[in-house]
Every structure is written in structure tokens, then in C-alpha cells.
Structure 1
Amino acid sequence: MSEPWPTDQIRDNVRARYAASATRIATRIAARQSEAATATAPSSCCGPATDAATEPAGSSCSTSCCGPAATEESFGAQLYDPTEAQGAPATAVEASLGCGVPTAVADLKPGETVLDLGSGAGADVLISARRVAPGGRVYGLDMTPEMLQLARANAETAGVDNVEFLQGYLEQIPLPDASVDVVISNCVINLAADKPVVLREAARVLRPGGRFAVSDVIADPNLDPSVRSDPDAWSGCVAGALTRTDFETALAEAGFVDIDINETHRVHDHAASAIVRATRAET
């Protein structure tokens, strides 16, 4: 699938949207702390003393709250069962903008090294950190400084010492070859400018036999071209999504085997969230 805009334009648009989300999340956390002390009215998902209906179109206070053409149940913290969120503080889980729970299917084990592509506020990193301890380590990779700041604050709250948050692009993962056991991601690969490169990078950093377990949006083959060319729909996790066939092909070409894609719920009239699993070939 050819992308409708240059890579830098895609990155800038996505970064701006999620920087704004991170800023709103941080504001909401601060407002909640203030409310606890002053007993004022609670803030909404779109910031203190506001309502989603008053937000400008496309402002995306949170994908779960204001995302385009999606129900409130399609994205975010409500997808996490409380037992699946153990290890992450509430502020990290509540800040989730994902479309699934990749840690529920990654089968993480103590001692493993995990990489979360597009780690956002850090919920899946911190959940993983608990599961790979003792002896394991988790890296979170994100390109948005505001999200990284949230993630590091959440890690400090969680009191974990086996995580590291890195700034960078999914197409240029700043880790050595064959350095991780598991790659996870939560609704971020669809946002990347070049998905085949992202998947080749994921295969590069995985050890032979390493596992790929992500939640992502899968587009129907009949997704309207007008949606594909809408920058807000791209940063809203729909326009840039691969079809099932394209995802399977890109994974195979990157060196993955045992590819399995299972739809979990609809997020758009012509797109669904899915769990995507695969294994890096042994050779």
C-alpha cells in the first residue's frame, strides 16, 4: 500500500495528535489530584471541566473518547480486565489509546526481554515488566516526547527498575540485532509511515524464534479511498491500516512464520481491531 503523504508529514501529523493527547492526559491527572484536595467537579475524558462535545473536531483528547467513527468501547482503558493490568498504575492504564491488550496473548515469561513499539504512556511496558521479572527487561519505544515524559512518570510511580523508554521511530529501532525475545505493540503500527520497514525492523531485533504479538487495526479491503486520504483518519488509526492480506504478506516478507490474525472487535465501519501473532523464523 503506497502512502498518500511523505514520511515526515505523516510523522508530524501523528506526533502532533498524540502530543496533544499526552498534554490533555497530564492535565487531567493534575486536575484529579487537585479535585481530591478541593472536592470540585470531576474532569471529563477530554480535560478538566470540559466535555467531549465541546472539543474541536479532530482534536482527539483521547482516541477512546473522541476518536473518529469509533465507539467508546473500541479503544482505551476499558479494554483491560483488572487482572490484565496488574503492574501498571491506574494513570498509565487510563491513558491507554490502544485497541487491544497485547500483553494478554504475548505469553511473557520471567527473564525475557520485551520491546513495545509505540509505548505511549507506558501501560503495556509496565504490565510486561512485572511478568518478565525477575531477570527480564522491557523497552518502550515512542517518538513523542510528551508521551515519553508520561511513561517515565508512570514507571516511577510503579517503582520498577527493569524498564527503559527510548525515543525513536518504529522504522529505525535503536536496539541491536537479535536483542529481544518478544515484540508487542498496541494500535501503533497502523500509524507508521512505512509498515513493511517496521515489520522488517521488528524481525531484525527479535532473536530467532522470537515472538511478535500485537494489537492493531486491520482495514477491510473496501475501505473508502476518501478515508485513506484523510490525515485525521490516519492519526485516528484507520486510514493507514493494512488489510489482512497486506499484513500477512508484509510479515512473511519480513521473515515471520506461523502468522495468525484474529479480529477482536470493530472500530470503524470498514476496519477492525485484531490480535496479530507471528514468530521470527529460526533461520
Structure 2
Amino acid sequence: MKNEELKNIVKEKYSEIALQSKRENETSCCGSGGCCSDVDYTIFSESYTHLQGYNPDADLGLGCGIPTEFAQIREGDTVIDLGSGAGNDCFVARSLVGVSGKVIGIDFTEAMIEKARANALKLGYNNVEFRLGDIEKMPVTANKADVIISNCVLNLVPDKVKAFSEIFRVLKPGGHISVSDVVLKGELPENLLQAAEMYAGCVSGAIQMSGYLEIMKNCGLENILVQKDKIISIPDEILLNYLNPDELESFKATGTGIYSITVYAEKPFNSPGCGCGCNC
């Protein structure tokens, strides 16, 4: 598929999810109707209930980590959340930046932006803002963010070089990122790579972990550190939607893994620009 086709698939599925509760998403990715197969997003998600700033109405169970736990967010910081959804990570970040800081959420799904803005209004937050926009071309000026976070979103961006070059552009010199994402170790079977629903379910959009980290490095980010990683166990009943029994056994025997990682990286204080050829 072309990049725009993949983006449209993701936007369509997440527009449907935005209209559901976390409980519905835990039943299946599109609720009891099962409109986009049996991908269970909660395979990846972690509990936020112990975190200050957590708001259940903003939690759709779509993450694959908790990037704010490793993000070293300080009071007064400007934090940008990429793929902010209903605002879950933004509201946790707000509790860390305090009233003197600012949090900006960016999402390209209109329904998610509407839901996040409604949540912020209900909570009375005047230093949390949600902007409709594409991560590959962010509606943000250069050198804006002290910290950029993201949770299980960048793997869904077709052009990851553009995404990380934009991250580099938007970060302040000396700023840093903490992103949770899904990556691969070993090659997924072709049937999985071509499955649109699995793409929207955060699996087939993932790339090799080594390639992911290399893109970050090539885009000028330094001191790259994998803060956390864990293997994601996909139930056989889900994989059998895309593989026959023999293919499934072969896949499991290869040792190929789908991993959730949380990665930290910094933009140098004195940088001539990234190495992506993007003139950022």
C-alpha cells in the first residue's frame, strides 16, 4: 500500500475507537461488532491507574508502555505528545509540568482531538492544548519542546524518517524524547505484513528494532537508550486469522519477536541539523 492509503486505514480505525469506551476496546478493537477483526489493543497496554493525573475518560487502552515514567519531565517544561488520542498521556504529563508548564497533544484523527478537547474542558485545564496534525509535518514551530513523548504511535507512521526528523526539528537544543513503541526482532511472515487490520493494531507497522534505533541516530538524536523492553505475546487465536497452523508453528519456531520498547534520546545542545537530508 502507499503511505496515504496506510494513513487512511489508521485514521478510519482510530476514528471508530475514539467513539468507544476502554471497556469496549478491551472486548475487541471495534467493540462487540468486531468490525476490524479480532485485534486486541489491550495486549500491548499497561495500567495507568497508579499515576498522578490519570483520568479514566481519557484512557482508551491503546498504549504499549508508559513513556512519562521515564521522560524526566520537570515543572515548567513544554511537553508534546505525538498521537495523543483522548489525552491520557497528556494529562499525566500535565501533573508533572504543573501550572507553569504546557502540554501539547498532536493527533491526526478528528474524533480523537474532539474527545481530548472535551476531556480537557471538563477537567478545567488551560495549559493542555490539542492540535490536529500529522506527525510527519507537525503544526509546531522549531525548538519548541523540552520533552516529546509518544505511546504506540510512531510505528503506525509510514515514513519514520520524516517523523523523527520532525521530532528533531521541534525539540529544543538539549531537549529529549521518551517514546514507547512496537518493534520487531526477526521478520514477520508476509501474511502479517500485508494485513491492514494488523497494521492498524500496531503490529505490521512495526520495523526492526535495530532499524528503528538507526533512524533515530541518523536523524541527529544522541544518547539513545532503550529504557524498557518486553516481548508481546500475541494469542494463537489472533495469529490464526492470518496464518495457517503450519505457518503459525514455523513462525513460533523462528524466535521472531514483537516487542514493546520505551526509548530515550536527546537533541544535542549544539547541532548543525539532523542527518536525514530534511534541512531541519
Bin for the TM-score computed over the shorter chain = 0.7 to 0.9
Q: Which residue of 2 aligns with 1:33?
A: none
What amino acid maps onto 1:266 in structure 2? Answer: I
* Distance (Å, rounded) in 2 between the aligned partners of 1:205 and 1:158: 27
Q: How does 1:74-223 map to 2 (within 5 A)?
A: 74-76=43-45, 79-84=46-51, 86-93=52-59, 95-223=60-188
* Distance (Å, rounded) in 1 between the aligned partners of 2:101 and 2:127: 7
What amino acid maps onto 1:90 in structure 2? Answer: P
The 1:155/1:135 distance shift into structure 2, 3 A limit, reads same
Residue 22 (1) aligns with residue 18 (2): yes
Pairwise CA distance, 1:154:
1.2
Match of 1:103, SS?
helix
* Distance (Å, rounded) in 2 between the aligned partners of 1:206 and 1:228: 32
TM-score, normalised by the number of residues in structure 1: 0.81
* Distance (Å, rounded) in 1 between the aligned partners of 2:155 and 2:106: 15
TM-score, normalised by the number of residues in structure 2: 0.82
| Contact 1:87-1:158 within 8 A present in 2 as well | no
What amino acid maps onto 1:89 in structure 2? Answer: N
The 1:80/1:250 distance shift into structure 2, 3 A limit, reads same
* Distance (Å, rounded) in 2 between the aligned partners of 1:151 and 1:17: 17
Match of 2:50, SS?
helix
What amino acid maps onto 2:173 in structure 1? Answer: P
Give the one of 229, 238, 258 matched to 1:271.
Answer: 258
What amino acid maps onto 1:100 in structure 2? Answer: G
Q: How does 1:222-261 map to 2 (within 5 A)?
A: 222-261=187-226
Pairwise CA distance, 1:47:
9.6
The 1:186/1:46 distance shift into structure 2, 3 A limit, reads closer
| Contact 1:110-1:132 within 8 A present in 2 as well | yes
Q: How does 1:39-58 map to 2 (within 5 A)?
A: 45-46=24-25, 54-56=32-34, 58=36
Cα deviations by residue, 1:80-121 (Å, 9 ceiling, x for unpaired): 34332x22321112x231111111111110110010000001
Cα deviations by residue, 1:29-88 (Å, 9 ceiling, x for unpaired): xxxxxxxxxxxxxxx52599x9989533525xxxxxx525x7x4x333xx134332x223
Q: Which runs of 5+ in 2 are unaligned?
A: 235-251, 272-280
| Contact 2:221-2:265 within 8 A present in 1 as well | yes
Pairwise CA distance, 1:158:
2.1
